[in-house]
Structure 1
Amino acid sequence: MVLALPETFGHDLLRGVGAILLYGVVGLLLMFIGFYAIDWTTPGKLSQLVHRGLPNAVIVTSSALLSMAFIVVVAIFNSASDLTEGLITALVYGLLGIIVQVLAVRLLEWATRIDVGRTMEAERFQPVSVVVAAAHLALGLVVAVAIS
C-alpha cells in the first residue's frame, strides 16, 4: 500500500497552520478587548477582585469571559472563506458582538436594579452573582447566534 498525498498538500497544510495562528491572534485580541470592556464597565478592578479571591467577582468574570468566547468563536466560525476577508469579518463581528454584549448586560443589570459593585466586592458568596453570571452567558449566546 502506497500513501499518496495530493500535490498541494504541503501548501494547503502551511496555509491551514497560518490560518490557525492568525485566527488565534484575532481571537486572543478579541478576548482581551472583551475582558477590558467588561472591566471598564463593571464597578471595581476585575483583575484585582479576582486575585483577592472574591467569589462573586470570580463567578461574574468567569461567565463574562465564557460569554465573550461564545461571541468570538461564532464570529470566527462564520467568517468568510477567504483568509483575509475571514480575519476582517471575524474581527468586526467580534468587536460588534462585544459592544452589544457589554451594553446588554449593563442594561439588564440596570433594569433589575442589581448593585453589581457591591456584589463584586462582597467577601462572601452572594446569590445575585449567579443572576449576573447567567445574564452574561445568556446574552453572550444571543449575540453569538445573532452573528451567525
Structure 2
Amino acid sequence: MFKLLALDALSAMAYSGVGLVLMALGFILVDIVTPGNLRHQIWTDGNRNASILLGSNLLGVGAIVAMAIYTSTGGLLVGLASSFVYGIVGLVIMGVGFVLLDLLTPGKLGQILVNDAPHPAVWVSASMHIAVALIVIAGLS
C-alpha cells in the first residue's frame, strides 16, 4: 500500500512539473506579445490589463494539462508526454489566436495591454485564451 502511495505521489509530482513548465512557457508567450517587461508591468506597476491576460493564459494552460492528465492512458511516460504535447498545442493556438485577433481589430493589442487604464479589449483577448483552452480540451475527450 505504501509503495503504491509513493508511486502515485511521484506521478503527481511529475505531472505537476510538466504543468509548471507549460505555465512558465505561457508566461513567456504573454511576455513576448506584450511590449516591455511583463513582470514589471504586473508586479511593480500593478497593470490590470496585463494581469488579466496572463491570468487567462495560465488558467487555460492549467485546464488543458489537467484534462490531458485526466484522459491519459498508458503508462506514466506516455501520460507526461501527451500532457506536454497538448499543452504546447494550446500555447501555440493561443499565440495564433492573439495574432489573428490583433489583425482583425483596430489598434495594437500589445499596446492596449500595457496601458494603465482598464480596456475592454483585454477581456476579449482573455476570453479568447479560455476559449482556445476549451477547444483543445474538447479535442482530448
Which residue identity is paired with 1:129?
V
Hey, what's the Cα distance between the residues in 1 that align with 2:53 and 2:32? 14
TM-score (norm 1): 0.83
Match of 2:89 among 93, 96, 100: 96
Q: Any unmatched runs of 5+ in structure 2?
A: none
Select 2:27's aligned residue among 22, 28, 35.
35
**Alpha-carbon contact 1:97-1:147 (below 8 Å) kept:** no
Q: Deviations along 1:65-114, whole A, 9 cap, x unmatched?
A: 11221222222222223112111111122212211222123212322235
Instruction: Please tell me the residue identity of whatever aligns with 1:31.
Output: M
Alignment of structure 1 residues 1-148 onto 2, 5 Å: 9-51=1-43, 52-148=45-141
SS in 1 for 2:36: coil
Given that 1:49 and 1:120 are in contact with CA atoms closer than 8 Å, whether structure 2 keeps it comes out as no
CA distance in 2, matches of 1:41, 1:120: 9
Unaligned stretches of 5+ residues in structure 1: 1-8
Please tell me the root mean square deviation across aligned C-alpha atoms, in Å: 1.7
| 8 Å contact kept, 1:43–1:116 | no
Q: In the superposition, relative to structure 1, how do residues 105 and 147 fare at CA in structure 2: closer, same or farther (>3 Å)?
A: farther
The structure whose Rg is larger is 1
Amino acid at match of 2:23: M
Equivalent-residue separation in structure 2 for 1:75 and 1:45 (angstroms): 31
